[in-house]
Structures are given as C-alpha cells and as structure tokens.
Amino acid sequence: MKNSSTNATQFSIGMDLGDKRSRICVMDAEEKIITEGWVTTIKTAMRRRFSDFPRARVVIEASTHSAWVSRVLEECGHEAVVANPREVGRKYLSKTKKNDKTDARTLAHLGLVSEFFLAPIKHRSPSCQADLTVIRARDALMKSRTQLINHARTTVKGTGERLPKCTADAFSRKVLPHIPCELKAALVPVVELVGTITAEIKEYDKKVEVLCQKKYPETEVLRRIPGVGALTSLAFILTLEDPKRFRKSRQVGAFVGLVPRQHDTGESSPQLRITKAGNDYLRRLLVTSSQYILGFYGEDCDLKRHGERISAQGGKAAKRRAVVAVARKLSVLLHLLWRTGQVYEPFHSATQSRKAS
C-alpha cells in the first residue's frame, strides 16, 4: 500500500549515511531505480546535490549526521524522514548481505510505503541540541575524571599502598601526600589534572543552574521531587523537548527504555530485562535519582514505598528491579508534572485512596 504523502512526490531517495560519504539510491513511484551514487557527507556537497533535484521523500537512519542532514534536505525543499535504526535495522536491513548499496536501496523502498515501517523520529531543535551539549560535555568530563582517579588508585595499589578514601571532588586535595615517592613523577600530573577537571565540572554546574533559571524555569516544578536536581530535570526537558509529543505520561517509561522486553509465545511469558531503548544518558540520570530515593537519605514518599515493596521480595535481583521500577515511575511522574504544572505531592496515592474511601 503506497503512502498518500509519498504520492505527492515523484521520487523516493534512500540515503545510507557515512562519516565521510553517503550512498544514495533514487527510486521512482514504480519502484524503479533511477540512479545510484555517492555524496560527500558535508553541508556544501549535500546542498549542491539536492538543491536542484525535484521534491522527493528522502529516508535516512538516525545517526550522528542525521540531524543536520535532515535540516539541509528540508531547506532544499525535500521531505526528510529520519528512520529509527532499532526498528528498521532489526526488521528490514539484511544481516547476511549488508552494505551501503543494499541499505540505500532498502531505505528507498521503505520510503514508498507507510511511515509505520520506518518508525520515524523527530530531531531536537538546534537551540535545544546546543543546550543539551552543555550537559553532555559535563558528562564527558565526569567520565574522564573517573578514569583518571581509577588509574591513580590502581597504580598505587600495585605497590602495596592505598590512597585514602574520599569524594571525587576532594581527590586532588587529599591524595597528593599519600602518593609513593617512586610514583610521584607519573601520578602527580594525573592528580593535578583531576583537580582541573573538577573545577571545570563546577563551572558546568553553574551553567546548568543558569539554564534552569533563565531559559527553562519549568524545571523548578520537577526539582521539587527529592532526588531530582537541576541536572536531571534539565536533561529530562531537553531530551523530550515537548511534553505534548506523548499522549500519555506512561509512554515516557518506554521511551527511555525502562520497560521490560517482551517475547511471549503461546503460554510462555518470560520475564526479560528492560529494553534500554532511547536516551542512555537520561536513563542513567533517572536510575541515579531512583537510587537516591531508595537510599538512606531518601524521604518517605509514594515512590520510595513502591520500591521498598518490590525490594522486600528479597535478594539483589529484587533490589535491582526496585531501582528500575522507581526510575520508570519517576519518568512518568516528571512528565505528568511538566505537562500539567501540578505541584508535587509525596503521598498522592495515599491521598487518592482516602478520598475514594
């Protein structure tokens, strides 16, 4: 069945994006290949190739380049469809004969049928993406600092000594006197670099606060939940961008990959791990917030009680399930508060139960 919006265009183009050059396949409405070739994956080459081409539907997969490529294609007057690689790759792209040529042809074919098969995604606006880059840069520094700290501790451990326990923020101040003399030449620069990175991370924290206060004041509603700070609330809003993109708040849990996989066959319904689909960074932040809520300093609330009921089943597996379950409920609650502007109620479920009785 041909898609009605596709019939308004004369061609369907599949483009398999590469880092240096991308393979294209141009197909007409009768599924006949008109031309195939390559285009350099830079803006000037893309504009030169597509600016004078008749309006077409161009299908690409979500990737590092897909955001700017889709914007360039739309500027040239084309319909850009960004397909979900998880869905398209798993269902339609060949696993035994996979190459740029066949992938481009497959994407061109899919452009002639319903968008349902493409599971299209929508990229964030350039402004939103730029703000999200601030958070991403901070995360990159955090990972680098962790690797350097682990390197220093492991190296000293190999000499039979130990560096004192301390927070990452205090690492550069507290461990210098404890570095063995024979390792000072190698490790002192590493420890000093940790201190520099820590200072930069604090600068990024200030930038996050400024973004929350001046550009995204709606984060204030989300930060009323204990365990949800400026970073998590801002990342949540920037990742989703528009609360109206989800008809129901429950859909957010699936969007961030916190729902179990399903593989039911007949009477068999095995319990599987979560999908881990969607944004990995936001999922990590939600899990971190969940761990705080369930931890010693977490305040009593519906979320904590929900996790404790699951954790009470016993064992490490139950505790892990509790963390994921609370993170999933937290994502739903964050979206609900953002969409409605309601004030956070720690015991909303208990209040509703009393009203019902």
Q: Closest Cα partner for 286 from 242, 230, 248, 328?
A: 328
Q: What pLDDT does 298 receive? A: 93
**Do the beta carbons of residue 46 and residue 68 sit within 8 Å?**
no
Domain shared by 190 and 248, yes or no: no
On whether residue 356 sits in a domain, the answer given is: no
Domain shared by 58 and 145, yes or no: no
Q: What is the DSSP letter of 99?
A: -
pLDDT tens track for 177-187: 999 999 999 99
Domain shared by 209 and 267, yes or no: no
CATH of the domain at 32: 3.30.420.40
Q: What pLDDT does 266 receive? A: 63
pLDDT tens track for 248-293: 999 999 999 998 886 666 666 676 788 888 889 999 999 999 999 9
- The residue from 57, 91, 117 where one domain ends is 117
Q: What pLDDT does 175 receive? A: 95
Domain shared by 66 and 186, yes or no: no
Domain count, the chain: 3
Name the β-bridge partners of 16.
Answer: 23
- The residue from 117, 147, 178 where one domain ends is 117
On whether residue 194 sits in a domain, the answer given is: yes
User: Cα–Cα distance between 133 and 208 in angstroms, integer?
Assistant: 11
Domain shared by 141 and 111, yes or no: no
Residues of the chain with pLDDT under 70: 1-9, 89-97, 262-269, 271, 350-357
User: Cα–Cα distance between 271 and 264 in angstroms, integer?
Assistant: 9
Domain shared by 147 and 177, yes or no: yes
Q: Which domain holds residue 342?
A: 220-351
